[in-house]
Structure 1
């Protein structure tokens, strides 16, 4: 049996950071929760994902823009690194699937 850790995000792109070997995206997902006054409120959460696939990176460069509604899915990977004598732990979101659901300004 294969074991895996996956994620899926549907949200709007807030930032596109194209680097030489990776494209980093910030995607905002909105949740609804009841506040202290028992009224429903939007609870926004920013997710940073990493795109390594050349085909997906080209598609993002050619077609995606800040504000687009997207669906992103992929795998989770835990990492650690040393800085200034301290160990820092991260959970990376590696994109395996990317699709634009609605262009900026379109309802979605």
Structure 2
């Protein structure tokens, strides 16, 4: 049996940070929760994802822009790094599937 950790996000692009070998994208997902008095409150959360695939990076460069509604799916990977003698732990969201569902203008 194969074990895995996956994620799926449907949200709007807030930032695209393209570097020579990797692209990072911030995507906002909205959740609803009950607040005081049983009123529903919008709870927005920014997810940062990383794209390594050259084909996906080219697609994003040509088709995606800030404000677009996108669907992103992929795998999770825990990593750590040292800075100034302190170990920092992160969870990377590595994109395997990316698609624009609606453009900002739509």
The TM-score normalised by the length of structure 2 is 0.98
Q: Does 1:58 align with 2:58?
A: yes
Q: Which residue of 1 aligns with 2:6?
A: 6
* 1:102 correspondence with 2:102: yes
Deviation at 1:10, TM superposition (A): 0.2
Q: Aligned partners of 1:37 and 1:46: how far apart in 2?
A: 26
Count of matched residue positions in the alignment of Structure 1 and Structure 2: 106
Q: Pick which of 35-44 and 22-31 moved more.
A: 35-44
Q: What is aligned with 2:20?
A: 20
Unpaired segments ≥5 residues, structure 2: none
* Separation of aligned partners in 1, 2:98 and 2:75: 12
Unaligned runs of 5+ in 1: none
Question: How many Å apart are 1:81 and its aligned residue?
Answer: 0.4
Distance of 2:10 and 2:77 partners within structure 1: 20
Q: What is the TM-score normalised by the length of structure 1?
A: 0.96
Q: 2:70 & 2:21 partners in 1: Cα distance?
A: 21
Asked whether 1:32 is paired with 2:54, we answer no
Quote the offset at 1:100 in angstroms. 0.4
Question: Does the alignment pair 1:75 with 2:75?
Answer: yes
User: Structure 1 residue 43 and structure 2 residue 43: aligned?
Assistant: yes
Q: Distance in 2 between matches of 1:33 and 1:105?
A: 29
